[in-house]
Amino acid sequence: MKLGFIGLGVMGAPMAAHLVAAGHDVGGYDVTPAAGEKLRAAGGRAATGVADAVAGADVVITMLPNHPQVEDVVLAGGGVLDTAEPGTLLIDMSTIRPETSIAIAEAARDRKIRVLDAPVSGGQAGAEQASLSIMVGGLEEDFAAAKPVLAAVGKTIVHVGPHGAGQVVKAANQLVVGGIYGLVAEAIVLLEASGVDAATGLDVLAGGLAGSRILELKRQSMVDRQFAPGFRIDLHHKDMGIALAAARQADVALPLTGLVAQLVAAGRAMGYGSLDHSALLKVVEQLSGRVPAEV
Ligand code: NAD
């Protein structure tokens, strides 16, 4: 297939390279020109702009930071909806607010462009290993058309409901991930402050009911205070905002999500925005008057 790929960052670059490797003709665009060069080196085409990436594409994928960038690339004049042929399938894989995904789907309907929201979980490693979990909102027939393309970048690919539903599932994912990081951070602080070896304690937790993928993958790096991203606190701060806005929209109270959102916001305010989200440990340490190790 002929694919346009817009947003070649931490996630988009390896995803676009996997699509090239799967035999697709990929034209990629990013505001950072070096990202286009990297795609060219991987066998793709560096497009000169959004319209160039979209020209003649059967499928356009966007992997952008947040809703303002998605609105700019998709809805603005000269953007995807303006320049794509009727019948093109737009798959937005960015994590954004559900209502923006719904608004895009409505705007696209008039232009006869098909749209899916398809945010991902699995992080940079998942993108590099083509093992992402992908939660897809939109029409069933569009999901069926997208599945062979998504299979080149993901392993678990699930149609979760109508437009916006993929983003709601992603918001639920992020509140659980943030909550578990916060609790693992509290466990480490308690263990260390009590004179118990944190690594040994967490080994036991990982084998019992408290075990989780986060404990499995991240307990050692947290105990070692290795906070290179990964997934940045800044992006998780955005995602907690999306989760709280979705909760408000759905008229539900999510008190733990509210608390975790404040801890993430504190991490950002303390200057840890560009560290991995496991750096919530530094926030929890400071709440107890403990001096976090320099990273
Ligand atoms: P990133 O900042 O590394 O990449 C985004 C890219 O979009 C950048 O290269 C940027 O230059 C480009 N961009 C911004 N505005 C643009 C525009 N107008 N036109 C063209 N390109 C533009 O971010 P990322 O880590 O790749 O994340 C992308 C999305 O995936 C985010 O919504 C994030 O929340 C989500 N996500 C990230 C991870 C992760 O571990 N990094 C995991 C799951 C989901």
pTM of the entire structure? 0.95
Question: What CATH number does residue 95 fall under?
Answer: 3.40.50.720
Query: Is 17 inside a domain boundary?
Result: yes
Exposure string for 36-46, b = 16+ CB within 10 A, e = fewer: bebbeebebbb
| 104-158 tens-digit pLDDT | 999 999 999 999 999 999 988 899 999 999 999 999 999 999 999 999 999 999 9
Ligand 1 center from residue 66 Cα (angstroms): 8
What domain count does the chain have? Answer: 2
Dihedral over alpha carbons 232, 116, 114, 25 (to 10 degrees): 60
Calculate mean pLDDT across residues 163-171.
Answer: 98
Q: Is the model's pLDDT at 295 over the cut of 70?
A: no
Residue 226: DSSP 8-state: -
| 56-99 tens-digit pLDDT | 999 999 999 999 999 999 999 999 999 999 999 999 999 999 99
User: What's the rounded Cα separation, in Å, for the pair 153 and 131?
Assistant: 6
Asked whether 73 and 53 are in contact (CB, 8 A), the reply is: no
Q: Give the pLDDT score at 292.
A: 72
Q: Give the pLDDT score at 269.
A: 98
170 is catalytic: yes
Mutation probe of ligand 1 site: the residue of 5, 15, 30, 94 with most atoms within 8 A of C-beta = 30
Q: Give the pLDDT score at 276.
A: 95
From the list 112, 155, 170, 282, the catalytic residue is 170
The answer, yes or no, to whether any atom of ligand 1 lies below 6 A from the CB of 6, is: yes
Q: Domain containing 230: what range?
A: 168-287
Query: Is 294 inside a domain boundary?
Result: no
Q: Which of 130, 161, 192 is the last residue of a domain?
A: 161
Lookup result for tokens 């006869």? 112
The answer, yes or no, to whether any atom of ligand 1 lies below 6 A from the CB of 235, is: yes
User: What's the rounded Cα separation, in Å, for the pair 43 and 25?
Assistant: 9
Q: Give the pLDDT score at 283.
A: 98
Which ligand 1 atom minimizes the distance to the CA of 239?
34
